[in-house]
C-alpha cells in the first residue's frame, strides 16, 4: 500500500512497517480488530534487526500520540453530528464520541505506537545492507 511514499515516515506509519528499513512488519498480525493480538508487536525487525522498543517503557510515550488521535476522532465525530444532525442533543454527541473513541481504540493504539517510533527513527536506505550492524 502507498508504494510511492517509500522512504517517507508516512509510508512506515500507514503500513505499520519498521521505521528504519520500511520492510519488516511491526505488528504480529495485520488484523487490527483481532482483539486478542492487536496490541502485540515483534521485538525486532525481521529485515534489519532494528529493536522496536528502544528501552523499557518506551511505548508509554505513545499514550501522548494516542491522546491526540482520540481528540482528533472526537472532533471529527462532533463536527459530523453537527453537520448531519444539527438539532441533536448532547446525549447523542456524548454517545457518538464515546462510541467513536472506543470503536477506533485498536486503530489508535496501533497507529500511536508506529507514530511514536517514527518520531525517534528515520528511514535509512542502507539499513538492509548493514544487516550485521545490530545497533539500536
List interacting residues with Zn ion (CB under 5 A).
18, 20-21, 24, 45, 47-48, 50
The CB-of-21 to Zn ion minimum distance in angstroms stands at 3
Q: Quick one: 17 or 69, whose CB is closer to Zn ion?
A: 17
Q: Quick one: 16 or 29, whose CB is closer to Zn ion?
A: 16
Distances in Å between the Cα of 44 and the Cα atoms of 21, 22, 54, 89 are 12, 13, 10, 48
The CB-of-45 to Zn ion minimum distance in angstroms stands at 3
The number of helices, as runs of H, and strands, as runs of E, in the chain is 4, 0
As given in the structure block, the three cell numbers for residue 51 are 529493536
The CB-of-61 to Zn ion minimum distance in angstroms stands at 20
Q: Quick one: 50 or 116, whose CB is closer to Zn ion?
A: 50
Q: Quick one: 26 or 97, whose CB is closer to Zn ion?
A: 26
**Cα–Cα distance between 34 and 49 in angstroms, integer?**
26
User: What is the DSSP code string of 37-64?
Assistant: TTT-B-SB-TTT--BSS-STTGGGGHHH
The CB-of-39 to Zn ion minimum distance in angstroms stands at 20
Amino acid at each position: 500500500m502507498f508504494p510511492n511514499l517509500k522512504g517517507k515516515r508516512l509510508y512506515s506509519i500507514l503500513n505499520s512497517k519498521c521505521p528504519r528499513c520500511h520492510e519488516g512488519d511491526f505488528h504480529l498480525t495485520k488484523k487490527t480488530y483481532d482483539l486478542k493480538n492487536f496490541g502485540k508487536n515483534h521485538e525486532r525487525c525481521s529485515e534489519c534487526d532494528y529493536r522496536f522498543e528502544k528501552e523499557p517503557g518506551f511505548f508509554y510515550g505513545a499514550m501522548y500520540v494516542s491522546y491526540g488521535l482520540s481528540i482528533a476522532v472526537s472532533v471529527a465525530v462532533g463536527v459530523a453530528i453537527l453537520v448531519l444532525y444539527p438539532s441533536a442533543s448532547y446525549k447523542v454527541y456524548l454517545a457518538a464520541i464515546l462510541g467513536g473513541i472506543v470503536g477506533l481504540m485498536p486503530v489508535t493504539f496501533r497507529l500511536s505506537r508506529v507514530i511514536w517510533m517514527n518520531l525517534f527513527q528515520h528511514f535509512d536506505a542502507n539499513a538492509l545492507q548493514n544487516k550485521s550492524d545490530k545497533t539500536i
